[in-house]
Amino acid sequence: MTSLLLAGIATTANAASATLTIGVTDVITLPANDGVRDTTPVTISSNVATTVTFSVRNGDTQVKQVGSIVLAAGVPGQFIVPVSGLPAGALTLVAKPSEGAEVTTALTVGSGQPSSVQLALSKSTIYTWKKATPRSTTASVLAFDETGLAVPFTGTVTATVGGKTYKPTVKSTTGNVAKASISVTKLAAGTGSVKASVRALKSGSTSYASNKVTLKVLKTAVSSLKISKSESTVFPAKDSYKDSVKITLTPKTTTGTSFASTGKIKIVRKGKTVKSWTLKSSAKKSVTWNGKVGTKIVPGTYTIIAELKGPEGSKKTVKTSVKIDKRKLTKTSKTVTHKAKSIFGTPSVYDFSSYCSHWIGGTKDGQVECTSGAAESSETYALYFPGAISVPSAAKSAQKWASVSSSYVPKATVSAVVVGKTGSGEWGYWNATTTKQGPLKKGTYNNGALKLPKGTSTIDFAVALYQYSSFKIKAFKVKYTYYVLK
């Protein structure tokens, strides 16, 4: 008997010491038995067969023993840690083998009390008009405890817009999103906010609120009108100059989009509508008026009135005015006679005996006579006599009408009054782009009409003589043809 007892004692004393390896835990959340993170698995293994006992500490204080597991050597096991009976906070899970040193791993227990609330709206703008969309928005709510994980909650969503408030309830027993529909019929037009206030499912728990989210409730209405016109004065006579006016109406709406509307653009004189256009949309609209009352041109000031109303809201009105002028661009002409002496410049002499004299006084006042001698070559000029003619202000002013039509470019026809001529010569006149040139001959004649484009203030001309030739020029007559508004 003694030997057997001693043998038993010796066996116990010689039991192998276990070395444990423990895994990590997941967060578990209070309260227990609500189906939301009530337990966490933890993996444990030993190098020898042993029984492992699990307990939970809070600092150095043991909170609770939570169970045990029998392990075979080298075969990992899984132990389930329950949240029941544990406090919230950062705890330690302790695993102690039958023989050997304990091992620990961190264990986080969430309170399950909402400490932050998240709210999102499916639509930030809804509309009061029954044909507009959307007319409702959905508030989605989530609550989180101090661990940052979603927890169950109950509470309300408060939407306040346009002086009206709507408070639907929300509840989540699983920590998943809870939703509440907010219909436009519960609110009024304006800009407001939506927030959520929730607490844990346990009665008496502290409530927490989300940040406010902006919600706009808009009427489908015209908020303002802007009207513009292409011309302040219209000349309806068909001459291509401001024959009509383009009227553009630019509505501004509460929604920032266009929609079906009703209205008119009217042309009114002395209380009577002489022309109108129907509007069916709040989109930007342009119309053109020919400036006539029926088929007639009736001078005066006319009022342009635009009116527009959307499905909701009041009618908006805007006005401007336009003048009607019966004048039109009319072709006219003016002839200016210049004494030759007054517009000739200084001649250039290319021969050996040329002379040029200006007759002064008597019946030949202003006449110019020139005679050339032998030239350096029979094919070159012996004398070249330039000059310049100033374009009258009326013709220069009329150059602006070229922007209306190229047919309105002023023209000048220069006629030389040649009272004497021997031999041969040429003469011409020009501008920056065009030259009108022909032979010098006796009589009054021209080389054709010269256009005077914008910026032309002078007409240059010259008379050139070949050798042994002469001329007597009394004057230059310039006929200007241009358009004036009359």
Distance CA 378, CA 98 (A): 139
Residue after which a domain boundary falls, among 218, 247, 263: 218
Same domain, 360 and 447: yes
Read off the pLDDT of each residue in 219-239 and give the average, rounded to a whole number. 96
Domain carrying residue 177: 116-218
Confidence at residue 352, expressed as pLDDT on a 0 to 100 scale: 60
Number of structural domains in the chain: 4
346-366 residue pLDDT tens: 888 776 655 666 554 445 678
Residue at token pair 């661990």: 147
Confidence at residue 4, expressed as pLDDT on a 0 to 100 scale: 35
* Residue 49 covered by a domain: yes
Distance CA 255, CA 126 (A): 10
* Residue 7 covered by a domain: no
Question: Is pLDDT of 13 > 50?
Answer: no
Distance CA 100, CA 345 (A): 129
51-108 residue pLDDT tens: 999 999 999 999 999 999 999 999 999 999 999 999 999 999 999 999 999 999 999 9
Same domain, 345 and 469: yes
* Residue 295 covered by a domain: yes
Q: Quick check: 394 and 482 in contact, CB under 8 A?
A: yes
Same domain, 185 and 314: no
Same domain, 59 and 40: yes
Residue after which a domain boundary falls, among 110, 128, 157: 110
Q: Which two tokens stand for residue 196?
A: 């959520």
Same domain, 300 and 341: no
Strand ranges in 340-469 using DSSP code E only, listed in sequence order? 348-349, 355-358, 368-371, 383-390, 411-422, 425-430, 435-439, 443-451, 458-465
pLDDT band at 204 (very low <50, low <70, confident <90, very high): confident
Same domain, 186 and 140: yes
Read off the pLDDT of each residue in 404-417 and give the average, rounded to a whole number. 96
415-439 residue pLDDT tens: 999 999 999 999 999 998 999 999 9
Sequence-separated (6 or more) residues with CB below 8 Å from residue 376: 350, 351
Distance CA 221, CA 143 (A): 39
Distance CA 428, CA 380 (A): 16
Read off the pLDDT of each residue in 148-169 and give the average, rounded to a whole number. 97
CATH of the domain at 311: 2.60.40.1930
Is the whole-model pTM more than 0.75? Answer: no
Same domain, 417 and 363: yes
Same domain, 249 and 320: yes
CATH of the domain at 163: 2.60.40.2550
